Amino acid sequence: MHPDTEKHFTTLGIRYVRGLKLLVADERIARFESSARLQLPGEYREFLKRYGNTAFEEFVEYPFIDKECPWANNGYGGMSVFYGLDAGPYDLEKEFANHVGRIPSDMLPIAEDGGGNLVCLAFTGPDRGCVFFWDRDAEPEPGEQDLRTNVYLIARSFEDFLNSMRVMNP
């Protein structure tokens, strides 16, 4: 993670869900990648290792690239918590398993907005590294082939996503 991005992220009033910063070992991330049969983009892998299960003291928002998202409030969406690999609440591995077949197969749920909508990261294909919003209220019916009808582009890279985040003005 670029030092300027890290500095920006830490100014957002982050807090660790378990009350303390738990660094995630490379071996733990490798086990997750192996069991999930995926390879995380480097920017996100570094973030997961250093920050993992992180929430915010105040409401944080980010701009959408895809302004058609019904959840976009003046072009912005809200952020609640990033998932981590510490087997606690908001566990990345459990969330991934819970959403297989519900989100596009090239995406990993990495965070949520507090209302059940997801922030997802594409881990393969032409969108690798892009960040998307997944609208739970418009989730396709079971068995539908196109799982992208409720997915909206937020950022073209994870680093761009982090840099675009801001504390919401009251």
For the chain, 170 residues long, the average pLDDT of each consecutive 10-residue run is 84 76 82 94 93 88 90 87 85 93 94 92 96 90 81 96 88
Q: Provide CB contacts within 8 A for 148, sequence distance 6+.
A: 104
Would you state the structure tokens that stand for residue 59, as one six-digit string?
């409401």
| Residues pairing with 62 in the sheet | 77
User: Which parts of the chain are beta strand (E)?
Assistant: 14-16, 54-63, 76-82, 107-112, 118-122, 131-134, 151-155, 166-167
Q: What is the pLDDT of residue 170?
A: 59
Q: Which domains are present in the chain? A: 3-167 (3.40.1580.10)
pTM: 0.91
